[in-house]
Amino acid sequence: MTGSVHQKNLSSESNAFSFGLEVIGKTEPLIAEYIRGELQNQRSQLKLIASENYASPAVLLAMGNWFSDKYAEGTPGHRFYAGCDFVDKVETLAAQNAKELFDAKYAYVQPHSGIDANLVAFWALLAYRVEAPFLETKNVKHVNDLEDEDWDFLRKAFGDQRMIGMSLDAGGHLTHGFRPNISGKLFDQRSYGVDPKTEQLDYDSVRSLAEEFRPLIIVAGYSAYPRRVNFAKMREIADSVGALLMVDMAHFSGLVAGKVFTGDYDPIPNAHIVTSTTHKSLRGPRGGIVLSNETDLAEFIDKGCPMVLGGPLANVMAAKAVAFSEAKTTAFQTYAQQVVDNAKALAEGIEKRGGRLVTGGTENHLVLVDVRSFGLTGRQAETALEESGVIVNRNAIPFDPNGAWYTSGIRLGTPALTTIGMSCDDMDEVAEIICSVLSATSPASTTSGEESKAKFMLSDNVSVDNRNRCAELLRLNPLYPEIDSTI
């Protein structure tokens, strides 16, 4: 374990983390050791997980303090607990920063994660479209005032609602109405997919599905779709069938904040409600937000607690406020554009070395590679790359013959590598590393002599050689250069 090193000549960031680890280590030395270990790991691997990033020291430090101890159920000025003066200031500032950043009329910054943000949004829409009109017909203000039989009717009405979202193999997310998630148990759901030829979103088929199925909610947004979505078109479809448009911009909110996605591609002016995580391309703390330009919806979103949330994490709301301030700068706009330029350079680098790109390219922060072009499954590619110092995740591709476990794809994202300063030239070297590993990997046989979907062969020389190339890239683009390597 590295000892205490706080010194006058170290940066304040180095000293902050060094002091912190010393304090933690006095109580549970193993945790201090694991925190140091995680930093070392992150500093020694090329992080291409599309949903991850590196938050700034200011964001990380804003989370580790006594705001963590405070209960504050409710909203600023309307709490169920006393003593919330400073939590109120934190939440108000975080919401204000979010509104300015996204040019939104309303922001709710309490959700603890993306899944929570989506749940808050679903219930806000149900409360707005199903509960509130029913209460009005019964001439009562609150669900507690309903007769038992009316309450039974309302509960059933919640369960009768329909929604449509992007299919999982086209790049959608589990929280968009799929059965393993609560959203799939709550809603009657149908999926829209992509065109089999172009692998891109087919707006005509979204329209046909919406006209036939008449959903209450249309969800747009994705986890693994390498293209932009035209939210103006999606809104037009929603309006034509009387549905509400919800956009989950968890993956690309950094590109919206950084003004890369504007006009028809900006969800805020086009959707009824927008949700996001704060830790992916937006580069904040782990958390969620809900935004809306529909002032009618605000009172329903505000009821996220107690609808699906308990007490907000005031320390994380503080970190969100810091992250939103960072994202309001022109430096962040430059960053967001570079994320997209880097993804394009990475995609071109892979394609020219024989990799097939799903949809033929990228318009956002992610690249989906069909690794069957290297004779591999996603599972084999993911592990071979990990052994060679490159961290990616396997991912289904549209109409994937290998299913959701082995998959035929890997998903690559550029937000993290762009944060540490990598350029388009670096992306060509990253593409070279990836393709040289995948070209040198071949499937092994199972015990029964068939081609394995998991086991593979890769010579140590290739993985060592590529680990060295990754190390060189990371030496030139270090993670947290302001934090000393000896903390």
The residue of the chain with the least Cβ separation from ligand PLP equals 114
For residues 195-234, which are near ligand PLP according to CB under 6 A?
221, 223
Contact with ligand PLP (CB under 6 A) among 202, 248, 302, 484 = 248
The piece of 7-15, 114-122, 368-376, 477-485 that touches ligand PLP (CB under 6 A) is 114-122
Residue with smaller CB distance to ligand PLP, 362 or 441: 362
**Alpha-carbon span 266 to 252, nearest angstrom:** 10
**181 in contact with ligand PLP (CB under 6 A):** no
190 is catalytic: no
Counting contacts by CB under 6 A, is residue 235 touching ligand PLP? no
Per DSSP (E only), the strands in 136-216 are: 162-166, 188-192
Q: Please, which residue, 251 or 379, has the CB nearer to ligand PLP?
A: 251
Are 392 and 382 a contacting pair, CB within 8 Å? yes
Q: How many whole angstroms from its chain centre is CA 387?
A: 25
Say if residues 108 and 330 touch (Cβ distance below 8 Å): no
Q: Which position among 227, 280, 379, 411 bears the catalytic label?
A: 280
Q: Catalytic residue at 149?
A: no
User: Known catalytic residue: 233?
Assistant: no
Report d(CA 11, CA 484) in Å as an integer. 8
C-alpha–C-alpha distance, residues 323 and 305, integer Å: 23
175 binds ligand PLP (CB under 6 A): yes
Residues 413-442 that bind ligand PLP (CB under 6 A): none
| Cα distances (Å, whole numbers) of residue 139 to 143, 149, 150, 154 | 11, 15, 12, 14
Build a one-symbol-per-residue string for 25-64: x at contacts with ligand PLP by CB under 6 A, - elsewhere.
Answer: --------------------------x-------------
Alpha carbon distance 122, 111 (integer Å): 13
d(CA 369, CA 357): 5
Q: Segment near ligand PLP (CB under 6 A), from 157-165, 247-255, 306-314, 401-409?
A: 247-255
Task: Tell me the window of 195-203, 243-251, 317-325, 353-361 that interacts with ligand PLP (CB under 6 A).
Answer: 243-251
Task: Give the SS3 label for residue 115.
Answer: helix
User: Is 402 a binder of ligand PLP (CB under 6 A)?
Assistant: no
Q: Judge whether 71 counts as a catalytic residue.
A: yes
Q: Which amino acid is at 229?
A: V
Of the candidate residues 115, 125, 219, 339, the single one contacting ligand PLP (CB under 6 A):
115
Asked if 131 is an active-site residue, the reply is no
By beta-carbon proximity to ligand PLP, the closer residue of 248 and 484 is: 248
Decide if residue 113 touches ligand PLP (CB under 6 A): yes
Total site size for ligand PLP, rule CB under 6 A: 13
Q: Which of 22, 70, 71, 207 is catalytic?
A: 71
Closest distance of CB 220 from ligand PLP, Å: 10
From 72-80, 112-120, 302-310, 353-361, span contacting ligand PLP (CB under 6 A): 112-120
Q: Does residue 277 have an active-site annotation?
A: yes
How near is the Cβ of 285 to ligand PLP at its closest, in Å?
11
Helices (H), 8-131: 12-27, 29-44, 57-63, 85-102, 114-126
Q: Rounded CA gap, 237 and 245, in Å?
A: 9
How many helices and strands, by DSSP H and E, does the chain display? 21, 17
| Alpha-carbon distances, residue 33 vs 38, 193, 286, 425 (angstroms) | 9, 46, 22, 35
Of the pair 251, 394, the CB lying nearest ligand PLP is at 251
Burial (CB count <10 Å: 0-12, 13-18, 19+), residue 389: buried
| Marked catalytic residue, from 248, 266, 348, 400 | 248
- The 8-class DSSP code of residue 263 comes to G
Q: Which is nearer to ligand PLP, 110 or 118 (CB)?
A: 118
Q: Which of 33, 73, 294, 387 is catalytic?
A: 73
Distance from C-alpha of 372 to C-alpha of 149, rounded to nearest angstrom: 57
> Toward ligand PLP, which CB reaches closer, 173 or 320?
173
412 bridge partner residues: 367
Q: What minimum distance in Å lies between the beta carbon of 449 and ligand PLP?
A: 38
Of 129 and 251, which CB lies nearer to ligand PLP in the complex structure? 251
Amino acid at 231: F
Map residues 251-270 to x or -, x wherever contact with ligand PLP holds by CB under 6 A.
x-------------------
Task: Work out the angle at residue 117's Cα, subtended by the Cα atoms of residues 111 and 123, and round it to the nearest 5 degrees.
Answer: 115
Q: Which is nearer to ligand PLP, 318 or 474 (CB)?
A: 318
* Residue whose CB is less far from ligand PLP, 119 or 243: 119
Smallest distance from ligand PLP to CB 134, Å:
29
Tell me how far CA of residue 246 lies from CA of 41, 95, 399, 468, in angstroms: 37, 19, 25, 45
Measured CA to CA, the distance from residue 404 to residue 381 in angstroms comes to 14
User: Contact residues for ligand PLP (CB under 6 A)?
Assistant: 51, 113-115, 118, 173, 175, 221, 223, 248, 250-251, 277
Give the active site residues. 71, 73, 248, 277, 280, 286
